[in-house]
Chain A
Amino acid sequence: MIDLSVNFGGIKAPNPFWLASAPPTNSGYQIMKAFEAGWGGAVWKTLGVPVVNVSSRYGSVNYRNSKMMGFSNIELITDRTLADNLREMEEVKKYFPDHAVIASLMVESRAEWEQIIKDVENAGADGIELNFGCPHGMCERGMGSAVGQEPEVLKTIVGWVKEAANIPVITKLTPNISDIIPPGLAALQGGTDSISLINTIKSIVGIDLDTYAPYPIVDGKGTNGGYCGPAVKPIAMNMLKDLAQHPEIGRIPLSGIGGIETWRDVVEFILLGATSVQVCTAVMHYGFGIVREMEAGLRQFMEERNYNTIYDFAGKALPNVTEWKHLNLEHKVVAEINADKCVGCELCYISCDDGAHQAISLSDDPLNRIPSIIEENCVGCNLCSLVCPVEDCITMVKKDDGTEHSSWNERTLNNDIPTTFNDDRAGGKGHFVPKPSDALKI
C-alpha cells in the first residue's frame, strides 16, 4: 500500500505536495480550494510588516510556443491585514486539521518576531517558514534576501524564532548567493528544524523596445524581479543537492522549491533529497488541478518500483552526484543515427560542424539527406542527440567495455595528468580538426 504522508521536521501532511508561499496562498479561500484539489500542505503568503504593492507585477519569458517558461515578479509580502489572515488561517485549520498550514513570516525586530509567532500559533499554524529570500523591495528594507545573504544575521534571527516558537520552523533560503552552504549552516546553527529552497532569483526578464523599460513596467520604469518557474529548476536542484550532501545540513529535512510542475519534477527533487516539494508558478499558470497529474504520476512511479513511502527513495540520486574529478575518463560514448527515423533536417550535422567537433558528414548524393557519424571524430558530447527533433533517432552508444576506470583524481594520485600547455597527455591531442582553410571550401 502506497502511503504518501510525510512528517517534515515535525510538520505532518497527507502528502508532500505543498503550495509555496506566494499568490496561490494569499487567502483561506485559495488554500481550502487547493486542499480540496489534493494539495497536502500550504505555506501561507508571507505575513509581516505592512507593505503596499504596485500594479503591474509580473513578467515572463516565453520560449517558442511555451508560455511562462520563466516567470518574474516584483510583488512584496502579503498586503492584507494580519488580522484577516489569522482569522482565515484558523478557519482553514478547522476544516482541514490534518493538512499542513505553515505561516511564512517576515518582520524586523525581535519583539515583532515574538509577537507574530504567538499570533500564528494561536491561529493554529502547524509550522513557521522564515522568508529570508525575497530579492526585491523587502531586501531594500533590510529583510528577505538581505537576511539570507548575511549568515550571521540569519543565524541570530533563527535563534530568536526558535526560542519563541513552540511549532517547527522551516528556514527558506535565497539562491541569490554564490554558495548555499554558509546560509544553510547558519540556519542549522540557529536551530532550524528544516530548510526550504529556493526563493526567486534576481532577474530582468525583458526590455520593452518601445519604452526601453524592463518588464513588468510600472509607469515607465521597472526594477529587478524575482525569477522562478520551469527555467529555474536546474538551479534549485543543484542547491538542494549541495545541502542534501552536506554532512550536517543533510540530516535535517529539506523542502524543494523551484520550477516544479509535473510528477517527474517531484520525483527528481525527492531523489535529490527533498521530502516535501513546494509549487508556485505552475499553480499560477494552470491552477490547483495540476496536482492530479503530480499525484497520479508519483503513485505510478512508486507502484512500478515497489516503494511504499517517499522515504524509500528520497536522496537515492545523491550518491551518483559527484565531483567532476571523480568521473570515469575511460567511459566512451559515440552518437549513432537511426536512418529509418531520420527526417533529414541536418541539424545534427550543422550543430556538430559549427558548434562541436566536426564528427558528422553529409552524403555526396543530394537526394540522401541522412547524415553519418564519423566515429573516430565523435567525442561523445551528446549535442547532436539533443538537437535531433525525432524521438530516439540519435542515440549515444556506449563503446568502452566498462572494465576500465580512471578519473582525474586517480590520475593525479598516479602522476598521470597533463601538466604543461603542450602535454601529450592532454585530452584533445591528436583529435581530428579540419584545417582552418577548409572553412573556405564549403
Chain B
Amino acid sequence: MAEYKKPKTEAEFENNFKQKNPLMNDTEAYYEASRCLFCYDAPCIQACPTSIDIPLFIKQIHTDNITGASKTIFESNWLGNACGIVCPTGVLCEGACVYNHQDVPPIKIGRLQNYATNKTIDAGKVIFKVGESNGKKIAIIGAGPAGIACACEARTLGYEVDLFEAKEKPSGLTVYGIAPYKITNEEVLKEVEYLQNQLDFNIKYKATINSKAALKSLEDDYDAIFIGVGLGKTRNLELEGEEKENVIGAVEFVEELRMKHHKLAVPKKVVILGGGNTAMDAASEAARMGAKKTVLAYRNSKEKMGAYRFEYDLAISAGVDSLFNVTPIAITGNGKVEGVKFAKTEMVDGKLKTNMNNTFIVRCDMVIKATGQAKQGHLYGLIDDLEIDTKKRIKTNDEFQTSNPMYFAGGDAINGGAEVVNAAYDGKMAAQGIHNWLNK
C-alpha cells in the first residue's frame, strides 16, 4: 500500500500523480504493435464507442506510418489523443482484445493510440482539411469533449463554428475533472490547440449561456445549436450539517486540484461519500495529496459499487480505506467539519434499509461528496419545447436532434455522465445530424 507525502512542490506533485499511462517509447510501440493479429471484424473495434479501426492504426504504427495511424484515429474520434490515455480501455477495446482468451496480456491499444497521435501533434503535422464553406453557422454551448468534437466535424463539413464556454479553458471535465494521474493539463490542451490550429473554430471563453436573451440571439444568428454542457455541480445531499466548512463536492474538489496542484491544502483525515468512479478518483487524489487517512464510504455492498473494479483497486493501492453498507445521516462539527455520522444499512427483501439503531461517527477534517452531479436543468428550462427525460437528461433522436429541431445535444448532457469517448462520438455524430437536417 502506497503512502504519499504531502506534495510541497510541483515536482513532488508530479511524483505523487505519476501518469498511469505514460507515453510509450519507440521500442515499446514497435514490439507492442508487432503483436497485433490484425483480426478480421476485430472485437476491439466493436468495443470502441467511436469504432476506431484499431488493427489498421496499429499496423500503420508498425510500418512507421505514424501520420497515417493518426489519421485513422482522428477520422473516428476527434479526441483520439486524450481518449488513448483516459479511456477505461480495460472495459472497452482492450477488454475485448482476443488475447484475453489466451491468458496473454491484451494489446495496449490506448497507449499505442496515444503514441501515434502524440507524435503527430508534437510534429504539428497538418492532416485535416476545413470543408468548403457552405455559408452556414453553428453555435456550440460548452467546449467540452462533445462540443469540441462537434466543432471539428462541423468544420470539415464547411460550417462556421463558434463555441461558447463558461470557463477559461477548453475541454470541460477532461481538464477540470479527470484525475491528474490519468492525464496532464498540457496533454489535454495541446490536442485542442492542434485541432483548433487546423480547423479554425472560435471559442469564446467566460461566455456562459444562461439567459433566454442569450439563447434568442444564438437562435437568430446561427442555423443550428449544439448543447454540450455536460453535467452541473455536485448535487446536494440534504444532510444535516452539509453546509459546514470543508464539505465539498467531488467535482469541485477535483477541479480545484487540477488547477492548484500542490498548492491545494488537503487536511489529514478525509471521508469520501460515494461508490462511483468519481468517488474512487477523489479518494485516490486525496490520498496522493498526503491525507493521512482517507476513507471511502458507500451505502451499499462492495459488489454493488458502480465504479470499475480497476478504479477501486487503484484507490486501495493509493492507501484508501473503505466502509461498505453505511449511509451518512449527519455531518458533525462546530462550523468546520469534525466528523460524519453514519448508520449501517442492510438488504431487506431486495431493498436497502437504513438501521438507525446502529450508528457511529467517523472523525475527519474534510468530506468529499461524490454522490452525483446535478443536471443543467436551469439552462434546459430556458429552451422552448426541449424535452427532458425522467433523469433530467436531454432527449435526442438517432441524429442527436432534440425535440426543438434547431437544437442538437450530446455527451454527459444526454447520457447522464459517461466517458470522454462517448462525448467525442456524440459530438461528431451530432454535427453530421445537423448537416443532414440542414440539407434535407
Chain A interface residues (CB < 8 Å from chain B): 65-66, 262-264, 286-287, 289-290, 292-293, 296-297, 300-301, 304, 389-392
Contact = CB atoms under 8 A, between A and B. Distances in A.
A296 B26 CA distance: 21
Contacts of B71: 296, 300
A287 to B, nearest CB: 5
Contacts of B30: 391
A300 B65 contact: yes
Given A65-B35, A264-B64, A296 B40 contact: no
Task: Give the secondary structure class of A's interface.
Answer: helix
A389 B30 CA distance: 11
Nearest to A67: B37
Interface stretch (B55-63, B169-177, B230-238): B55-63
Residue from B27, B35, B62, B72 with most neighbouring chain A CB atoms (10 Å): B27
Contact of A392 (B26, B40, B56, B60): B26
Contacts of A287: 40
A296 B35 contact: no
B68 interface: yes
Nearest first, the 5 closest Cβ-Cβ pairs linking A and B are A391-B26, A262-B63, A300-B68, A391-B27, A297-B65
Interface of B: 25-27, 30, 34-35, 38, 40, 53, 56, 59-60, 62-65, 67-68, 71-72
Nearest to B62: A262
A64 to B, nearest CB: 10
A300 B67 CA distance: 8
B63 A293 contact: yes
A391 B72 CA distance: 24
Given A264-B63, A264-B64, A290-B59, 14 more contacts: A65-B34, A287-B40, A289-B40, A292-B56, A293-B60, A293-B65, A296-B65, A296-B71, A296-B72, A300-B65, A301-B65, A304-B67, A391-B26, A392-B26
Nearest to A299: B68
Contact of A263 (B25, B26, B27, B65): B65
A296 B60 contact: yes
A390 B27 contact: yes
Contacts of A389: 27
B112 to A, nearest CB: 15
A263 B63 contact: yes
Nearest to B63: A262
A392 B65 CA distance: 17
Contacts of B67: 300, 304
Nearest to B26: A391
Contacts of B35: 65
A314 to B, nearest CB: 20
Nearest to A393: B27
A62 to B, nearest CB: 14
Nearest to B125: A304
A286 B38 CA distance: 7
A65 B40 CA distance: 19
A390 B60 CA distance: 20
Nearest to B31: A389
16 contacts: A263-B63, A263-B65, A286-B38, A287-B40, A290-B59, A293-B56, A293-B63, A296-B56, A296-B65, A297-B60, A300-B65, A300-B67, A391-B25, A391-B26, A391-B27, A391-B30
Nearest to A292: B56
B68 A297 contact: yes
A268 to B, nearest CB: 11
Nearest to A265: B63
A301 B59 CA distance: 15
A293 B69 CA distance: 9
A296 B68 contact: yes
A394 to B, nearest CB: 12
A297 B27 CA distance: 21
Contacts of A391: 25-27, 30
B86 to A, nearest CB: 26
B242 to A, nearest CB: 54
Contacts of A66: 34
